[in-house]
Each structure stands twice: as structure tokens, then as C-alpha cells.
Amino acid sequence: MSYTSEIYERVVAQNPGEPEFHQAVKEVLDSLKVVIDANEEEYRKDSILERLVEPERIISFKVPWVDDQGKVQVNKGYRVQFNSAIGPYKGGLRFHPSVNQSILKFLGFEQIFKNSLTGLPIGGGKGGSNFDPKGKSDREVMAFCQSFMTELHKYIGADEDVPAGDIGVGGREIGYMYGQYKRLTGLYEGVLTGKGLTWGGSLVRTQATGYGLVYILNEMVTAAGDSLEGKTVIVTGSGNVAIYAVEKVTQLGAKVVAMCDSNGYIHDPNGIKLDVVKDIKEVRRGRIKEYADEVEGATFTEGKGIWNIPCDIYLPCATQNELDLDGVKTLAANGCKVIAEGANMPTTREATDYILENGILFMPGKAANAGGVATSALEMTQNSMRLSWSAEEVDEKLHGIMKDIYAKVSSAAARYGMEGNFVAGANIAGFEKVVAAMKAQGVV
Ligand code: NDP
């Protein structure tokens, strides 16, 4: 049996009931097979893969808090510190009812390669809670965040582990957690990223994941001899990543015609009016269907099926496994030529295989959405220097990082004879750097 198959079986046997983690490991191992086969003896001796798939540490804790009715609520809290070979653990915190150890391990594992691809010195981690901020008062969110940080602060630090936001964790939640960290430790340090601009945050961090996605998309399309000008685009989700992907792709001349949330999708053939979406989502914390009530010519459809709308480019920016085989086949039949993942693992394995076999240009999340964590690392740099860069300076660095990721991913794929397979390219380029660091640091 090949080394990669052996390790995959070991992961399934030793991590029962963790399908998302198995899925992420399988995708990475399958695309690394050529590299691993070429170095099998050496990697086996050093147990490189056994070490890579095992998190360095998982912290799991209780988060008790009091709701507005005076009742005590209890949630689960986690931090997965996956791999620190190339820098302090870095990765978001997700607050969503679906959060469990499997999802955080899949996200933490992916984060290792993504962070490596950015070229910045950051290791891989992820954390969060099954707490649902939706429908909670500000006071309840604060009570939860303070309790969460009361436990988490023991395990993080500016040179140790630097969490950021993710689904359900935006500026408000980062603020409450940062305040509690400072109160408990007495330290005003860059322990979290995604902070507000008046207290250590970086300009462009809010926009970074969505902008970065479009910068790499632009590289892909340009390399294929085309441009974004006049293209019809679908962006799924209507959260942080989706909103700023829409903003940048529209600036570059494309027209976004559909977005969604977990209730359903809107279709606006005239082009999405982003100021309306921002008002609904960022100001009122409302539902996407309100868009159709406010904008003439727009419609709302309940449930899934956004992929039925014809488009040239599809940017999934909501959540894992949102795009399945049927969805991808429909997109392809309607002429979609490019898919770039703003979310983490939004495309199922079967759908990804179909995409790669049918010549659709495809950039996986670990490369395409790396602009978020890269700009978080730029926020860490500014915090360490006690300086703030201008928006232009951060945006220029972000743009440069995304171009560099595209170059690394495409050249790694070509080096192993898989030209245009950016899934393989991203995994190989991310892996090579981490493995070199692990080997240099010995058995730790
Ligand atoms: P947000 O919480 O801001 O937004 C998530 C959006 O996706 C919401 O509109 C949400 O709708 C929608 N959504 C969630 N589940 C579903 C579903 N099953 N079907 C349809 N829509 C759904 O999160 P982010 O924008 O920050 O994150 C989105 C993705 O991008 C995640 O995979 C995240 O891990 C990834 N990512 C985020 C980064 C960042 O910097 N924020 C960095 C890199 C990756 P609803 O409100 O109804 O739940």
C-alpha cells in the first residue's frame, strides 16, 4: 500500500466520526502523492506524514455564560494548534452551531498549507465554538466572548498563537475578546487580528479575503488570455468574504448577478447593488431576501440552487461543501469557465474531481482565500513595529502576495507535470516549505 493510502487509513481509524477532517486530509494526500512517492523512503523514516496529520495540541473547554433571561448557558470552546513549524499558530475563530472538533481540525489542517503559501512566518491553527451569535443581544455576545477568552487566554499570545475572525466572528466579537484578554493579562499586544482601526487593526484587513480572491482570480483569467471585463459572476454567501469579493470584482469590470445566505438566494440581472447588501448585512444584520423587497427587478428564491443562474465565473464564499456535483454540472452546462473558492473547502470532492476533469479553471480556497490570513500577518507586523501602514501600502502588499501565490501554485503544478492543476500546485507548494522546516527542527 502506498504511504499516502496508509496514512489516510490511519487517520480514519484514529479519528472516528470526523468526516470533514478525513475529507481534507484525503484531498491533500491525494494531490501530494507524486511528491511523496518521489521521497518515500526519507519521509517514511522521518514519519513526516504521521507528524503532519496529528495536531500539536487540541484545547477543548467549557464556556458558561448568562443570557438575557438570567439563565446560564453552556457552550463548547476549542483551539486546535495544528503545526508551528514555520511560525506561531495563526487561524480564525468560528462561532457557529455546526462547529465541532472535526470541522476545526479540517480547517486547522488546511490552514498549515495556506499560511505556508503566503510566504509569511505563520503556522496553522483554528478554533471556535458551537455558540450562535445570530439573534443574540450585544450584551449576550459580550458575555459569551468574555467567558470564551477567560479560558482561551491561557494558551495564546502575540508570539505563540494569534487567532482572527471567521464565520460568526467579526469586529464586534474580536473587540470583546481583545478587551477581556487585555484585562486578564495586562498586555496590549497583537494577540488577535481583525482589530478595530483605532486599537491596533490594519487598514484593508476587512476587505482582504474578498479582495485577495479577486486578485488571484484576475491572475488566472489573465494567464488564460482573457479579462474580467464584462464577465457575469455569482458570489455565494453575503458575509465578509462575499461582500468584498463583489466589491473588487465589480471594480474590475465584471457584473455580479447573484448572492445568497443560508435561507436562499437573490438574483439581480442588472448587477448587485452592494450598498444595499452592505446595509442589510453589515448595518442591520438582516437577511438577504430583504434585497428583493428593496431593489426593483431582483428576485429571491428560497433554498439552494443559486448555480442554476448562468454565469462565466462562480465564487463560492459561504461555507464548506456548499457546491456539489449536481451544482457543478449545472454550472458547466450553462457555460461557467472559472471557479475560485473564497470559502474553505466549499466544493465537495466529487465536484472538484469533475471540475478538474472538465477543464474548468479552478483555484482552491487554501490559495484563493489566503489574502485574509496574509493581511492578518501584516497586522501582526504593524503591531510588533508599533506602526500603522496606509491603505495603499497594505493593499499593494496584499496584491503582491496574491500574485506571488499564483506564481508558486502554477509553477509547483507544472514542476510535477500537472500544469493547470492548482489543487495539486497549492498543496505541493505549501507542503514543501513546511516539511523543510519540520526536518530542520528535528523530532519535536
Ligand atoms: P460570515 O459569517 O461573514 O459569512 C458567511 C456567509 O455564508 C453568510 O452570508 C452565511 O449566511 C452564508 N452561509 C453560511 N452557511 C451557508 C449555507 N449552508 N448556505 C448558504 N449560505 C451560507 O463568514 P466569512 O465571510 O468570514 O466566511 C465565509 C467563508 O470564508 C468560510 O468558509 C470561512 O472559513 C472562509 N474564510 C474567511 C476568511 C475571513 O477573513 N473572514 C478568511 C479565509 C477564509 P447566514 O447569515 O444565513 O448564515
Per-residue model confidence as pLDDT tens digits over 229-284: 999 999 999 999 999 999 999 999 999 999 999 999 999 999 999 999 999 999 99
The stretch 382-387 carries a mean pLDDT of 96
Judge if 272 and 327 occupy the same domain.
yes
Compute the residue count for the chain: 444
Answer whether residue 115 is part of any domain: yes
Q: How many domains does the chain have?
A: 3
Residue to probe by mutation, ligand 1, list 261, 284, 348, most atoms within 8 Å of CB: 261
DSSP for residue 304? S
Within a domain: 92:
yes
What average pLDDT does the segment 180-207 reach?
A: 97
Q: Are residues 355 and 264 in the same domain?
A: yes
422 inside domain: no
Tell me what pLDDT residue 11 has.
Answer: 98
Do 236 and 364 share a domain, yes or no?
Answer: yes
Q: Of the residues 126, 248, 255, 289, which is catalytic?
A: 126
Residue 334 Cα to ligand 1 midpoint, Å, equals: 25
**Together in a domain, 241 and 304:** yes
Average pLDDT over residues 327-349: 97
Cβ–ligand 1 contact at 322 (below 6 Å): yes
Q: Is the CB of 238 under 6 A from ligand 1?
A: yes
For residue 5, the CA-to-ligand 1 centroid distance in Å is 32
The CATH number given to whatever domain includes residue 253 is: 3.40.50.720
d(CA 49, ligand 1 centre) in Å: 30
Integer CA distances (angstroms), 183 to 138, 150, 151, 179, 363, in order = 19, 10, 13, 6, 42
| Residue among 98, 262, 304 whose CB has most ligand 1 atoms within 8 A, to mutate | 262
* Parent domain of 34: 3-52
Q: What is the pLDDT of residue 230?
A: 98
- β-pairing verdict for 72-83 and 57-66: antiparallel
- The answer to whether residue 89 sits within a structural domain is yes
Residue range 131-177, pLDDT digits in tens: 999 999 999 999 999 999 999 999 999 999 999 999 999 999 999 99
Quickly count: other Cβ atoms within 10 Å of residue 391's Cβ: 11
pLDDT at residue 364, as a whole number: 97
- pLDDT at position 52 is 98
Q: Are 109 and 232 members of one domain?
A: no
- Judgement on whether residues 46 and 76 belong to the same structural domain of the protein: no
- Residue 263 CA to residue 104 CA, distance in Å, equals 24
Per DSSP, 197 falls in state G
Digit-coded pLDDT (tens) for 287-305: 999 999 999 999 999 999 9
Residue 320 CA: nearest ligand 1 atom is: 32
* Cα radius of gyration rounded to whole Å, the chain: 21
State whether residue 94 is helix, strand or coil: strand
Percent of the chain with pLDDT over 90: 100
Predicted pLDDT at 86: 98
Cell numbers found for residue 128: 471556535
Work out the average pLDDT over 395-413: 98
| 285 and 298 belong to one structural domain | yes
